[in-house]
């Protein structure tokens, strides 16, 4: 028993989250998205005081659509409630006709947007009544990133590439300059040593070319 109650509770919470009933205000248009059940949109009229009155509900249509109660560009659902109708739900097929009340006609052709949303409004209702959409939710469009963002990333990429190229060029020049200076420093001691060696060899040649004088023997005058 408790298990079934638990499942019913989960189902009720899930249903509440999926079908957030949209409350309509007279003369205020809203862009909504319907959670379609068998391709139907539900328009619910609340009449708790059991008043008699008329309701004109408007669906977005082609811009040249003209009806009696709705503004231009809207298709019209017109219904009349009596004292016994405390709450009535009208199931409108997305093709533009009532599923359970074929005698009630919708004036104009309903037109959805490319993203599946549609603009709706209440054009006529008495103060004792209210209108809601049980299987709809307010449409929140996704934020579109401007094309300039992609261009800025491309420009940033080329700037980074240019700076990296300049840094690489500077590094190559620095390494080349260092290698050249290092080779010069290595060569200078070798050349001085070679010149010193040649000078020493020249001195040796001069010394060898000068023959020593023979020593004079001592006379035996003693």
CA distances for 26 relative to 48, 123, 185, 203, angstroms:
17, 6, 93, 122
183 — pLDDT class (breaks 50, 70, 90): low
Residues 86, 47 contacting (CB under 8 angstroms) = yes
DSSP 99: S
User: Per-residue pLDDT tens for 16-67?
Assistant: 445 568 999 999 999 999 987 778 899 999 999 999 999 999 999 999 999 9
15 — pLDDT class (breaks 50, 70, 90): very low
Percent of the chain with pLDDT over 90: 45
CB hemisphere CA count around 70 (13 angstroms): 30
Rounded distance, CA 57 to CA 41, Å? Answer: 12
Rounded distance, CA 132 to CA 44, Å? Answer: 5
pLDDT of residue 152: 66
Rounded distance, CA 176 to CA 122, Å? Answer: 80
Residue 39 Rama label (left phi>0; alpha psi -120 to 50; beta): left
User: Per-residue pLDDT tens for 74-104?
Assistant: 999 999 999 999 999 999 998 888 887 777 8
- Within 10 angstroms of residue 3's Cβ, the number of other Cβ atoms is 7
Residue entry with tokens 């060898």:
208
Rounded distance, CA 107 to CA 190, Å? Answer: 106
If we measure between CA atoms, which residue out of 77, 166, 197 comes closest to residue 125? 77
Please state which CATH class domain 17-138 belongs to. Answer: mainly beta
Rounded distance, CA 19 to CA 134, Å? Answer: 6
pLDDT of residue 82: 94
Both tokens of 50, joined, read 């059991």
Domain ranges of the chain: 17-138, 145-191
Both tokens of 48, joined, read 């708790």
């Amino acid at each position: 028993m408790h298990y079934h109650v638990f499942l019913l509770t989960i189902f009720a919470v899930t249903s509440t989250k999926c079908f957030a009933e949209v409350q309509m205000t007279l003369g205020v248009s809203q862009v909504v998205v319907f959670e379609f059940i068998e391709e139907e949109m539900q328009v619910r009229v609340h009449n708790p005081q059991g008043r008699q009155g008329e309701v004109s509900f408007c669906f977005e249509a082609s811009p040249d659509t003209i009806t009696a109660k709705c503004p231009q560009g809207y298709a019209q659902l017109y219904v009349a409630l009596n004292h016994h109708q405390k709450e009535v739900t009208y199931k409108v097929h997305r093709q533009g006709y009532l599923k359970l009340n074929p005698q009630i006609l919708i004036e104009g052709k309903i037109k959805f947007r490319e993203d599946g949303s549609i603009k709706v409004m209440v054009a006529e209702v008495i103060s004792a009544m209210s209108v809601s959409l049980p299987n709809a939710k307010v449409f929140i469009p996704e934020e579109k990133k401007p094309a300039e963002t992609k261009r800025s990333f491309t420009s940033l990429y080329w700037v980074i590439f240019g700076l990296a190229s300049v840094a690489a060029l500077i590094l190559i020049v620095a390494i080349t300059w260092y290698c050249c200076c290092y080779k010069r420093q290595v060569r200078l001691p070798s050349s001085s040593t070679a010149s010193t060696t040649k000078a020493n060899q020249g001195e040796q040649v001069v010394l060898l070319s000068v023959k020593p004088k023979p020593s004079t023997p001592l006379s035996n005058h003693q």
